[in-house]
């Protein structure tokens, strides 16, 4: 990246060629990451353990996790303006939690009358791509207990919008101003 910046500062006409030379290694890294996720989720015992672990923790959001990791890596590699990477990562993780919570509210796992640790075990054990897993069950179940369905949906929509703003660095007002 530094060599390209130096080259462009000396000869701005070489911008296109330098971007191509930077894009090629990035695409190879992305292909490798996507391939590794595909292998991990499809390979025997280890893939089954990793898949079960991700489903147990995140449920439906486990499907989104590899996509977000790839998008975050692409953004880190391609973006010249790397403002607030930690905030963007937290925003993406918060979005995963919102999706897991919403999945739990849509397809809840019955844990009434269980102690906290038994509830955690039941949510983790029942974690699947059709519900919210452990995190979605704890957050979504807590919201549902406190606010019922409508209140939970309103809170999740608000937190989802906040997480998108955090992850992208763009707000609704910026989008309107740019239009």
Task: Give the 3-state secondary structure of 60-129.
Answer: CHHHHHHHHHHHHHHHHHHCCCCCCHHHHHHHHHHHHHHHHHHHHHHCCCCCCCCCHHHHHHHHHHCCCC
Residue-wise pLDDT for 94-129, tens only, equals 999 999 999 999 999 989 899 999 999 999 999 888
Q: Residue 44 and residue 22: Cα distance in Å, rounded?
A: 36
Per the listing, tokens 């809170």 go with 155
Kindly report the length of the chain: 179
Residue-wise pLDDT for 32-84, tens only, equals 777 776 666 666 677 778 778 888 999 988 888 878 877 777 777 777 667 78
Segment holding 130, helix H or strand E: none
The token pair that represents 170 in the structure block: 């763009």
CB of 56 within 8 A of CB of 124?
A: yes
108 Cβ contact partners less than 8 Å away, ≥ 6 residues apart: 131, 137, 140, 141, 144
Predicted local confidence at residue 176, as pLDDT:
75
Q: What is the pTM of this model?
A: 0.73
């Amino acid at each position: 990246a530094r060599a390209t910046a130096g080259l462009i500062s000396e000869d701005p006409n070489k911008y296109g060629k330098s971007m191509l030379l930077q894009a090629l290694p990035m695409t190879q890294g992305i292909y490798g990451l996507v391939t590794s996720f595909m292998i991990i989720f499809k390979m025997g015992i280890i893939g089954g353990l990793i898949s079960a672990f991700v489903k147990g923790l995140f449920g439906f959001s486990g499907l989104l996790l590899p996509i977000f990791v790839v998008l975050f890596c692409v953004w880190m590699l391609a973006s010249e303006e790397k403002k607030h990477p930690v905030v963007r990562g937290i925003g993406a993780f918060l979005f995963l939690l919102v999706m897991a919570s919403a999945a739990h509210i849509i397809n809840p796992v019955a844990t009434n009358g269980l102690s906290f640790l038994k509830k955690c075990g039941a949510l983790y054990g029942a974690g699947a791509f059709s519900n919210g897993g452990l995190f979605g069950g704890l957050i979504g179940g807590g919201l549902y207990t406190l606010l019922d369905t409508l209140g939970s949906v309103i809170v999740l929509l608000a937190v989802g919008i906040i997480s998108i703003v955090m992850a992208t660095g763009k707000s609704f007002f910026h989008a309107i101003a740019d239009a």
